[in-house]
């Protein structure tokens, strides 16, 4: 569970009994853009990679949709799908951590907040990890750290480039120090990947915050981001209270970070696959055979 989820739980009671004025969207047949208000068929929105045709707003997508956007059709080969999180601290806040895990697993069909595997992009082999914000806010627990670390090690062994799609509220507080340890574990594996002269690219999507930003999200050779993605470590209010200064309105957006040198380029989702393929070719990556090792 991330801080986003925790605050959402705290605020739920404030909206009980409030009557919504939004129109009925027809059991998911229609989708209304929260940015410009354009209403479109859900299937048309998905056909445009869930990007609003009116204003370019990037709707949040799940890990399966993300893989479909990035990888060549039918090329994704998943790893470590059987890894399951545990509750070593027997943590309980408003609800037991074990119950939260079961609910997230039932709602997403995933064992934890990341999917990892090998795939191809325009025929070029790539190691790919995709975080899923639906699973407890994409929070980084022990399983997330282990799966990403194993993928990095596989990529290093097979001399493959690596892409990690980040979408996270940060470290999973229900696992305490065990969650924070994943930052160092993944970073160590990435350093060995770098020493092998292999390419690593993180793609920062909305939102990328907390311990993920403080570790592997910012260790790439090329750091990519989606338009208007929220990227940061601490929240705006915490920073303003600490610095006693008013921050710019676009603070912690992908565009602000690009202007200040923290992000190399912003890539719109419809152009993502072709852009990734071009970057891979520029770095000497060519089609080759994959193994499951």
Whether 248 contacts 205, CB under 8 Å? no
Q: In sequence order, what are the residues at sequence separation of 6 or more whose Cβ sits closer than 8 angstroms to the Cβ of residue 39?
A: 23, 25, 30, 31, 32, 33
Helices 142-157, 176-195: crossing angle, 10 deg rounding: 10
Break the chain into its structural domains and give their ranges: 3-15+61-282
Specify the higher pLDDT residue, 58 or 19: 58
User: What is the β-pairing status of strands 114-121 and 77-79?
Assistant: antiparallel
The single residue listed with the structure tokens 């592997």 is: 216
Closest CA to 104 of 144, 132, 78: 132
Cβ burial 43-81 (10 Å sphere, 16+ → b, else e): eebbeebbbbeeeebbbebbbebbbebbbeeebbeebbe
Please compute the mean of the pLDDT values over residues 206-219 and round it to a whole number. Answer: 97
User: Which pair of structure tokens corresponds to residue 33?
Assistant: 């853009």
Residues 246 and 237: their CA atoms lie apart, in Å, by: 9
Q: Residue 264 has what pLDDT?
A: 98
pLDDT of 9 above 90: no
pLDDT of 63 above 80: yes
Decide which of 1.10.3720.10, 3.90.226.10, 3.10.20.600, 3.40.50.300 is the CATH code for 3-15+61-282. 3.90.226.10
Instruction: State whether residue 18 is helix, strand or coil.
Output: coil
- What dihedral do alpha carbons 290, 75, 140, 12 form, nearest 10°? 180
Q: Residue 25 has what pLDDT?
A: 43
Whether 225 contacts 248, CB under 8 Å? no
pLDDT of 178 above 90: yes
DSSP letter for each residue of 128-141: EEEE-TTTGGG-B-
Whether 161 contacts 168, CB under 8 Å? no
Q: What average pLDDT is seen over the chain? A: 90
State pLDDT tens for residues 94-136: 999 999 999 999 999 999 999 999 999 999 999 999 999 999 9
Q: In sequence order, what are the residues at sequence separation of 6 or more whose Cβ sits closer than 8 angstroms to the Cβ of residue 63?
A: 110, 114, 115, 130, 131, 132
| pLDDT band at 2; cut points 50, 70, 90 | low
Specify the higher pLDDT residue, 22 or 162: 162
């Amino acid at each position: 569970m991330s801080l986003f989820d925790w605050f959402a739980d705290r605020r739920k009671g404030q909206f009980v009994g409030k009557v919504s004025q939004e129109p009925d969207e027809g059991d998911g047949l229609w989708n209304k853009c929260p940015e410009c208000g354009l209403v479109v068929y859900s299937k048309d929105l998905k056909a445009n990679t869930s990007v609003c045709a009116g204003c370019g707003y990037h709707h949040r997508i799940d890990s399966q949709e993300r893989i479909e956007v990035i990888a060549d059709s039918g090329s994704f080969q998943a790893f470590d799908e059987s890894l399951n999180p545990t509750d070593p601290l027997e943590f309980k806040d408003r609800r037991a951590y074990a119950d939260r895990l079961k609910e997230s697993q039932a709602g997403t069909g995933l064992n934890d907040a990341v999917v990892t595997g090998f795939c191809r992009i325009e025929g070029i082999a790539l190691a790919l990890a995709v975080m899923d914000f639906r699973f407890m806010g994409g929070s980084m627990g022990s399983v997330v750290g282990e799966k990403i670390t194993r993928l990095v090690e596989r990529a290093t062994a097979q001399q493959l480039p690596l892409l990690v799609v980040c979408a996270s509220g940060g470290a999973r507080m229900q696992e305490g120090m065990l969650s924070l340890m994943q930052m160092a574990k993944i970073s160590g594996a990435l350093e060995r990947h770098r020493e092998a002269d292999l390419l690593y690219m993180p793609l920062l999507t909305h939102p990328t915050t907390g311990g993920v930003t403080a570790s592997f999200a910012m260790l790439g050779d090329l750091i990519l981001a989606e338009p208007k993605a929220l990227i940061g470590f601490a929240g705006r209010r915490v920073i303003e209270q600490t610095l006693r200064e008013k921050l710019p309105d676009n603070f912690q957006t992908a565009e602000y970070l690009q202007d200040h040198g923290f992000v190399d380029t912003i890539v719109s989702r419809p152009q993502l696959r072709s852009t990734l393929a071009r970057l891979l070719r520029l770095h000497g990556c060519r089609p080759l055979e994959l193994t499951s090792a």
